[in-house]
């Protein structure tokens, strides 16, 4: 039996509706203990500002510092993530953190995602299958053949996570969700008649 195998690609766009904020509570001091205590104090302010949101520790580190012209000391960094279920909540939280934690806060990034991407992934797969069929029909015609039934389908490359698109320019933050592209790749084998 002759077969034809083709890979199709498809994508679907979605508007992100969820933000994951990555930040660090940072403190510099002369001693290890003072640096750690200062970072812990800043972390407590972050948690207090986040209220009912889920705050998770990613990393805690302390290391010696010695810049030219400065007295040697230590810097402690408590890296956290805060999951927000709503972009407006993320906007408000970043503004609140800027004022309440101040210079001991470093925002490392905001990842914009789609809370439930399943319907968009399904659309991307449908587009990938349609792309594979169009390619296969063209190739079959070039080979003076006709597509028969589908013999095998394999999802290749999987679905990509949403592309984060955000803008933060001032203390009063205005996150813009933009669009996230979700993609799929399918490898389909047809019998040839």
Q: How confident is the model at residue 17 (pLDDT cuts 50, 70, 90)?
A: confident
* pTM, two decimal places: 0.59
Question: Token pair 């800043």 is at which residue?
Answer: 42
Which has more confidence, 174 or 117?
Answer: 117
Dist CA 144 CA 192 (whole Å) = 10
φ and ψ of 90, to 5 deg: -60, -45
Question: Token pair 């040839």 is at which residue?
Answer: 192
Q: What is the pLDDT of residue 87?
A: 78
- The torsion defined by the Cα of 140, 141, 142 and 147, in degrees rounded to 10, comes to 10
27: its two tokens: 């403190």
Lowest mean pLDDT among 39-43, 116-120, 135-139, 172-176: 172-176
> Is the separation of the CB atoms in 110 and 165 below 8 Å?
no
Q: Is 109 left (phi over 0), alpha (psi -120 to 50) or beta?
A: left
- Domains within the chain, CATH numbers bracketed: 3-15+116-192 (3.30.110.170), 18-113 (3.30.70.360)
């Amino acid at each position: 039996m002759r077969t034809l195998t083709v890979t199709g690609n498809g994508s679907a766009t979605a508007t992100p509706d969820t933000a994951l904020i990555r930040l660090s509570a940072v403190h510099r001091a002369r001693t290890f203990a003072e640096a750690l205590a200062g970072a812990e104090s800043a972390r407590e302010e972050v948690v207090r500002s986040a209220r009912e949101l889920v705050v998770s520790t990613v990393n805690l580190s302390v290391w010696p510092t010695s810049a030219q012209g400065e007295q040697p000391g230590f810097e402690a960094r408590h890296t956290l993530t805060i999951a927000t279920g709503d972009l407006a909540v993320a906007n408000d939280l970043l503004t609140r953190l800027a004022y309440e934690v101040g210079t001991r806060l470093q925002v490392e990034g905001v990842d914009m995602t789609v809370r439930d991407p399943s319907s968009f992934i399904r659309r991307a797969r449908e587009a990938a299958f349609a792309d594979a069929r169009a390619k296969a029909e063209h190739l079959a015609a070039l080979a003076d053949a006709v597509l028969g039934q589908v013999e095998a389908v394999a999802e290749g490359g999987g679905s990509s996570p949403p592309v984060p698109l955000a803008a933060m320019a001032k203390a009063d933050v205005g996150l813009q969700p933009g669009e996230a592209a979700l993609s799929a790749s399918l490898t389909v084998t047809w019998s040839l008649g």
